[in-house]
Structure 1
Amino acid sequence: MATLLHLDSAVFPQDSASRAITAAFVETWREQHPGGQVVYRDLAADPLPHLDATAVSAGADDALRSKLAAELAGADAVLIGAPMYNFSIPSTLKAWLDQVIIVGHNVGADSPVTGTPVTVVASRGGSYAPGTPREEFEFVQNYLEKVLTGMFGVEVDFIVPELTLAHSKPEMAELIPLADASRAQAFTDATEKAKALAARLAA
């Protein structure tokens, strides 16, 4: 029985591209794993405390950090909704990372989560793709790929719906067709990646 750890971090519960796409991923996952388990954390609705000196000193002996690390270690796959806020990840997601990364417990070559597949839905209001004017401002994929592989040795894959603000910003109106295409592709990617991952874990 496979377990999926699902994290959402978008501030708004409705009209969130990252939440809609992670939900589509989870729906397909459940179809493929009717007897499986999904462990869900809504980091916006139920934010974790920022890391403090007491928690750092306690490490894996801290009750919350130990629980979060156990959730991660117990997952066969991880799904993260990570919208871009001010060119980076939401602070609530950063708080989860700070709490769950425990040096001497789950970091390094012997990490219990090494090789775990992690799918990140990295939505963003504009375009930060290679070759675009704001390419150098992309700190969501760059950061998460580095921290997750560097600390845990996991396999990171991205789904990237872009131009999510096109429908609400008059100055972006001409980009609506590109935004719609990107959103549609993201939903297709979510379904296909969930199916492929389910098949991989069932093999």
Structure 2
Amino acid sequence: MATVLHISSSVRSTGSTSRQLAAEFLSQRKASHPGDIIIERDLATVPVPHLTEQMMGAFFTPVEQHSPEQAETVQLSDALVAELLGADIIVLGVPMYNFSISSTLKAWIDHVIRVGVTFSYSADAGPVGKVAGKKVYLFIARGGVYSEGPAQSMDFQEAYLRAALGFIGLTDVTAIRAEGLAMGESAVEAALSGSRRLIEQFAAA
């Protein structure tokens, strides 16, 4: 039995490829692992607020020195971190917007990458991630092809996520990419069929 944290970041409630593929993975995994507990976090329907000066001040203040206002300010961030730490598997539905991720997903990342909480600094090794032993699946949807070819240098989506997640210790990351979704019907069919083959493989693992 595993706890699965499913994070949706597409602004589209319908017609979203990243949502569709993540849902198919979860459905197949649930069939193979009926004891799994799935925690849903939809960043489109319940957006995470972007950072404020007050939040940053609270993040960099030791917990024992928090004022009542600071303690209240970090409640949501603490809850998001607890969800992350409590999960065995993280499933991220990630559309590409202007070569990167949605601003709501970036806000979520800003809430869970916290010094002293999900990473620490070592005098010898520098930053050390504190979130380890978890599996991450990225369900990536893109209109173009960015995993190879001339547009590869414009991928600030998967490359950023791997860097940010790896920074806090999440290094076991598998990306299922549906690319070329704006390049015609045959490209869409090829992208979806390729993604579904991988879903079938990984959902049973």
TM range (shorter): 0.7 to 0.9
Cα deviation, residue 50, structure 1: 0.3
Q: State the secondary structure of the residue aligned to 1:46.
A: coil
Paired with 2:170 and 2:198, the residues of 1 have a C-alpha distance of 23
Q: Which piece of structure 1 moves more, 151-160 or 41-50?
A: 151-160
Match 1:93 to one of 105, 108, 116? 105
RMSD: 1.5
CA-CA distance at 1:67 after TM superposition: 0.4
More strand, by proportion? 2
Match of 1:39 in 2: 39
What is the aligned-residue identity percentage?
Answer: 37
Which deviates the most, 50-59 or 85-94? 50-59
Give the match's secondary structure for 1:122: strand
Which structure's residues are more often helix, by fraction? Answer: 1
1:162 aligns with 2:168: no
How many residues matched? 186
Preserved contact between residue 24 and residue 191 of structure 1 (Cα < 8 Å): no
Give the equivalent residue in structure 2 for 1:137: 154
For 1:191, the equivalent position in structure 2 comes to 200
Structure 1: gaps spanning 5 or more residues:
167-172, 197-203
Bigger CA radius of gyration: 2
Deviation at 1:88, TM superposition (A): 0.3
In 2, Cα distance between the equivalents of 1:159 and 1:110? Answer: 24
Between 1:51-60 and 1:40-49, the stretch displaced more is: 51-60
Alpha-carbon shift at residue 110 of structure 1 (Å): 5.8
Encode CA deviations 1:24-67: one digit per residue, 9 max, x unaligned. Answer: 11101211221221000110111110011222222375111110
Q: Normalised by the size of structure 2, how large is the TM-score?
A: 0.85
Show the 5 A alignment for 1:1-203. Answer: 1-59=1-59, 61=71, 62-108=74-120, 109=128, 111=130, 113-130=131-148, 132-166=149-183, 173=184, 176-196=185-205
**Cα distance in 1, alignment partners of residues 198 and 83 from structure 2:** 25
